[in-house]
Structure 1
């Protein structure tokens, strides 16, 4: 029997199970949560750009994901990895969802998934497409394991093997990511390139390949993510614009429309679909 501590949270229409990943995984894996819905109620949700690569290990019916890449279209997925986005998409499911939701850092995803993250830019893929037959076996074993503590132990063991065997990002790319993340996207790319000793062009190529977005676009996503968070906590939009490095509120409004497909008022006021707008990382 596992002695892992887990926390069970009643969210009304679904249960959430939280546990801390193995210490060796924490630099690569922001969080993972188990979940299951009480009722079979269909749901649709707008997804927004975020700093995470999302992996969903699904024990329930397939879910439908529309990604920002206009050439991809809607597609049903069993278990999936969704890469870095620079636009909005749509997530829908028939209800009765059960599974595990993981938030990976972009460079953690590069190592744990073992593929260039540029392959998943504005896109998603079934886990077996990325991890091979081991992914299907993992889903089967997790679904058949009776306790959540044992499930998280099993997941840790799988991810630790992936961590040992996976590729490592360039130190320069890792440094660039830390600078972008630490400044919430406000450090100029030219300054980052000078810091790591690469040309802007070489940095853009290597960073895009390993993190999933070019540094300039990643900075834009990080600024937007921070702006959404501040605005949701009640900050005035003019103050949010200043805090996040936008020229003015009009600039912030344009960025919201470009990245979320709607205005700040629509997004934050729930005028699109009441209470059903979130980052993909918050959507389960």
Structure 2
């Protein structure tokens, strides 16, 4: 891995600009461009990075659920097709930038190579505020960015593509996000608290306990939570528990038996079943793979 800063990103890469960190990742000439995002966006944005490929090499990735919504702003070649791994339905062809809602299963993505893009991971309630629509409408779906943001999406993408300076790009994006945030709906405090409880527990908390804590019935909590998060509290808990297990396996190199105990699975067989359903793989296969922001290279 190579890390470069300021305005010296290396041959073939556009200027980085002020305060930018450029990291070479993988072996196919792929670069990741980052900088800290403003404090007022941190409760909304979980991760924030630009990508640039110095060579044109087609690739396929499997995306596994993370409990976050994703925005990919394509400044070069977009993904060729995206589809649910376990579904017999044809892949969805994406013609440009995209929004992906929360998932409860794996998704396969094919790219022709030559990617240049900005990728954001949003907290579910942050996405609810920024998109200004029920998150349940995006559950297990990938749609064009313009379908969510309207005509302003095309204007933003055009302005981002017109500059090669990554600091300027991030400045433009920060202003656009801030403007959307200012006029977006606020989630219900009870839903925010319920999501906080689930996240803090890594998904390992009974829905009945959450409902009692926020003062709602389980049925009402499920309806409001699903509207604003995109998944039910129970399914959100499964996804968050799975995501924590993936992190322990891939980043901390924990043994599957240790992961089962730490994440609240009944046993290792339960862990294996959840990995097949949510990730389309096994704990061992995922531990051996390179997982970056929920993506497994295939």
Q: TM-score, normalised by structure 2?
A: 0.88
Residue of 235, 243, 248 corresponding to 1:230:
248
- Does the residue aligned with 2:186 lie in a helix, a strand or coil? coil
Displacement after TM superposition at 1:260 (Å): 1.2
Displacement after TM superposition at 1:70 (Å): 3.7
Instruction: Give CA deviations for 1:34-60 in whole Å, capped at 9, x if unaligned.
Output: 111011100001110102211000011
Residue of 253, 263, 266 corresponding to 2:282:
263
Residue of 169, 172, 193 corresponding to 1:151:
169
Residues 1:73 and 2:90 are matched in the alignment: yes
Stretch deviating more after TM superposition (100-109 or 230-239): 230-239
- Does the residue aligned with 1:76 lie in a helix, a strand or coil? coil
Contact 1:88 1:260 in 2 (8 A): yes
Residues 1:130 and 2:141 are matched in the alignment: no
Contact 2:85 2:280 in 1 (8 A): no
Residues 1:180 and 2:194 are matched in the alignment: no
- Does the residue aligned with 2:93 lie in a helix, a strand or coil? strand
- Does the residue aligned with 2:281 lie in a helix, a strand or coil? coil
Which one has more relative contact order, counting CA pairs under 8 Å at least 6 apart? 1
Displacement after TM superposition at 1:195 (Å): 0.4
Alignment RMSD, CA only? 1.9
Contact 2:17 2:167 in 1 (8 A): yes
Q: Aligned residue pairs: how many?
A: 277
What are the ranges of 5 or more consecutive residues in structure 2 without an aligned counterpart? 1-15
Contact 2:86 2:106 in 1 (8 A): no
Contact 2:61 2:295 in 1 (8 A): no
Q: TM-score, normalised by structure 1?
A: 0.92
Instruction: Give CA deviations for 1:79-138 in whole Å, capped at 9, x if unaligned.
Output: 001110010110110000001000100000000111111011111110000111100110
What are the ranges of 5 or more consecutive residues in structure 1 without an aligned counterpart? none
Residues of 2 paired with 1:111 and 1:53: CA distance? Answer: 12
Residue of 222, 229, 233 corresponding to 1:204:
222
Displacement after TM superposition at 1:244 (Å): 0.2
Residues of 2 paired with 1:6 and 1:75: CA distance? Answer: 34
Residues of 1 paired with 2:187 and 2:50: CA distance? Answer: 29
Residues of 1 paired with 2:169 and 2:226: CA distance? Answer: 33
